[in-house]
Structure formats: C-alpha cells, structure tokens
Amino acid sequence: MTDDWRPAAEAALARGRRFDRRIPSFLLRSPISRIGYWWGTSVGFVWGSLWSTGPVERRNGLWVFRGLPNWAFARGGVCVGGCYLTGDHAPSEAVLKHEAVHKAQWLRYGFMMPVLYLFAGRDALRNRFEIEAGLEDGGYVRRQRVSRP
C-alpha cells in the first residue's frame, strides 16, 4: 500500500488548524465545551442504553456499548461524547485508542463537534477528526510496517 493518502491528510489537518484559529477561544476546551461534551455523553448513553444488546463496559475512559443494530451507528462504531457505540464485536485496543481521541475532540469542541465533523466530510482520509484520531488505529488504512536495517 502506498502513502498517497498522506498529502491530502496533511492538507486537511492544515485546513482544520486554520479554521480553529477563527473559533473564539472561550468556546474551545472551556466550561461551554464541557457542557457540550456532557450533552453528547448523555445522548450517547441514552442511545446506547436503548439499543445495546451486548455488554456495556468502561474501557480507555469510554463507556463502550456493544450489540447495537447496524443502523444505530455509522461505520464500525461512533463516539458520542464519552460513549463508544458499536456492534457485536469487542473493539480492539487500537480502536479504543482512536475513539479516545474522538472523546478528547468532544471535550475540545463540545456542541460544535457534530457540525464540524459533518463539514469535515465522510471520507476518513480527508476528515481531519479521523486523521487526528489515527487512521491506522481506526482501521481506515493499513498499519505501515517498520523496516529494520
């Protein structure tokens, strides 16, 4: 696999940093964003409680709700506030590491997170939030093998 996704990913991160400079600082990682994070966590907790048929556990600082029907979450799972909502399979440590970054993004952006994520687009290779969380950990690209001399 080639690294031809990397230039687009770097450009998406640069665009995101430029955009963030336009957001008033009192909205970022603040009491206001914390309220948004708790709102998101409440929504995730209610949604997970309604639809989860599997175990609910606390892992890597996240409430992990398993056993949701496929229509109840996007892709392999979704982080809403401090909750990770997914299907039947137990998430790997790499995926939980990826989702923990999304939790931190929720803490930074609060109420703005769903809108900013929507505008970042569905293509994970160009979505700054997915890139920041780690495309390899999220399973979007293959892990690069380290060649040894």
Q: Kindly report, residue by residue over 39-65, the tens digit of the pLDDT.
A: 999 999 999 999 999 999 999 999 999
How many angstroms separate the CA atoms of 1 and 67, rounded? 32
Task: Report the pLDDT value the prediction gives residue 135, as an integer from 0 to 100.
Answer: 96
Contact 76, 88 (CB under 8 A): no
Please tell me whether residue 57 adopts helix, strand or coil conformation: strand
| Residue 24 belongs to some domain of the structure | yes
Residue type present at position 6: R
Residue 56 pairs in a beta bridge with 65
Residue 12, CA distances (Å) to 15, 77, 79, 112, 132 in order: 5, 22, 21, 18, 10
Q: Please report the sign of the dihedral spanned by the C-alpha atoms of residue 11, residue 12, residue 17, residue 18.
A: positive
Supply the range of the domain harboring residue 39: 6-133
CA distance 68 to 148: 42
Examine the pLDDT at 144 and tell me if it is beyond 90: no
Q: Is 60 helix (H, G, I), strand (E, B) or coil?
A: coil
Structure tokens at 114: 């769903």
123 within a domain of the structure (yes/no): yes
Q: How many domains does the chain have?
A: 1
Does the pTM of the predicted model rise above 0.85? yes
- Is residue 138 one of the residues assigned to a domain? no
* Closest alpha carbon to 84 in 116, 101, 134: 101
Residue at 147 is within a domain: no
Indicate whether 75 pLDDT > 60: yes
